[in-house]
Amino acid sequence: MNVLVIDDNMDILEAFQAKLKKMKKRGELDYYLCDESNVDEIEAVLEHLPWAPDLILLDIMIPLTGEGDKEARGGLILLARIKKGRYAKIPRDTRIVLISAIFDVDKVTQEYKSMIYSSLPKPFGIPQVTRLINDVSKKLRE
């Protein structure tokens, strides 16, 4: 299984990396951490992924440009573009989990329910991430 994590927060990416690295060593998955800081930079990465992701963990609060608009919900723009098939390496039916510390993540999740697999509110624990990855992996094998 291929996992793509998109977040502009290095602390979050490091937490993901610690778990994903262990899972990769066991041969359970491959992963890519996208640490670009805005939608423009992330899109450049999405155009050149080494493989098609099976699961994307996508932060909602990503600035649109290098200007650093911290209130921007660039992750939702990326979600819509992924589901419209904008990126050649990402199938439109890729499972996407929205991650965010915004207070209304449940409301956002409801608005985008048909487009996402699940949501993961920050702060979250590594056991939650592990369960989520294992759940998706199991569904892919079915």
| 86-103 pLDDT per residue, tens | 999 999 999 999 988 775
Bridge partners for 59 per DSSP: 99
| Domains of the chain by start residue, with CATH | 2-141 (3.40.50.2300)
**Mean pLDDT across 28-46:** 94
Burial 114-125 (b: 16+ CB within 10 A, else e): eebbbbbeeeee
pTM of the model: 0.91
| 75-84 pLDDT per residue, tens | 999 999 999 9
> Alpha-carbon Rg of the chain, whole angstroms?
14
- Two structure tokens written together for 70: 């911290």
| 51-81 pLDDT per residue, tens | 999 999 999 989 887 665 666 789 999 999 9
Cis peptide before 53 (omega within 30 of 0): no
Any residues with CB less than 8 A from the CB of 55 and at least 6 apart, and which? 1, 2, 3, 4, 94, 95, 96, 97, 117, 133, 136
**Mean pLDDT across 102-123:** 78
